[in-house]
Amino acid sequence: SQQGEEDPQALSIQEGENATMNCSYKTSINNLQWYRQNSGRGLVHLILIRSNEREKHSGRLRVTLDTSKKSSSLLITASRAADTASYFCALLTGYNKLIFGAGTRLAVHP
Amino acid sequence: EAQVTQNPRYLITVTGKKLTVTCSQNMNHEYMSWYRQDPGLGLRQIYYSMNVEVTDKGDVPEGYKVSRKEKRNFPLILESPSPNQTSLYFCASSGTSGRAWETQYFGPGTRLLVL
């Protein structure tokens, strides 16, 4: 399958802790994107990392990409209750389609 | 405000009754697509369009039709809905290059129940 596979499927942490989610894939990619979805709502784009990049930051978010291991990670530092959501990685394998993983459900407890 | 809108947001229908879910974007995006989201399966692409009058199948196109007569609109048509099409549907748009590699902007979703 070309689908990205997120790990873990669910993550429960306390406010202030860091949350790390991983995405593994099997095919070559042009870029990899991370999205957030609050319960039943539309997805919101977080970060795009290109295949020739290794790390990107955006506020409390840090994304890494290891193309040799075909894996990416999303780190959320100093998590807040408002970070509670599902997080998806999406792979751009050609130039017309994004393929989404099944997501990681993050719960941040006050 | 830049946005993607979908209508209706919620729909209950019966097997075989044709329905259309509308999608409209005001960002002059060339690329638009439809996804369905089912528990444990993530988002799966149904159809996409790279520009007006240019559409192509995604991963799960069976039972769906689309059209792209105007740049801003990309309706999803279910000619004869069946219960296995009960799902949460999202429309998304991106970019001015007709490519999917740019940031996708998602609509709020349409929750469809087919009885």
Mean pLDDT of the region A87-102: 86
Q: Are the beta carbons of B34 and B47 closer than 8 angstroms?
A: yes
The predicted-structure confidence for B17-62, as pLDDT tens digits, reads as follows 999 999 999 999 999 999 999 988 889 999 999 999 999 999 999 9
User: What is the reported pLDDT for A40?
Assistant: 77
In the numeric block, the tokens 């990670």 are attached to A73
Average pLDDT along chain A: 92
pLDDT band at A95 (very low <50, low <70, confident <90, very high): low
pLDDT band at B95 (very low <50, low <70, confident <90, very high): confident
- Which residues 78-97 on chain B approach chain A with CB closer than 8 angstroms? 88, 90, 92
Q: Which of B85, B90, B91 is nearest to B112 (CA)?
A: B85
Cα-based angle A28, A97, B84 (whole degrees, multiple of 5): 120
Residues of B in contact with A99 (CB under 8 A): 45, 59
Residue B63, amino acid: G
Our CA-based measurement puts residue B2 at a distance from the nearest CA of chain A, in whole angstroms, of 13
Give the alpha-carbon dihedral of A30, B56, B4, B106, to 10 degrees: -40
Label residues B60-86 b or e (16+ Cβ within 10 Å = b). bbeebebbbeeebebbbebeebeeebb
**Bridge partner list, B89:** B36, B110
Rounded distance, CA B51 to CA B69, Å? 9
Our CA-based measurement puts residue B47 at a distance from the nearest CA of chain A, in whole angstroms, of 10
The predicted-structure confidence for A16-49, as pLDDT tens digits, reads as follows 999 999 999 998 888 999 999 998 788 999 999 9
Cα-based angle A6, B87, A98 (whole degrees, multiple of 5): 45
- Whether A2 shows a pLDDT value over 60: the answer reads no
Rounded distance, CA B28 to CA B10, Å? 26
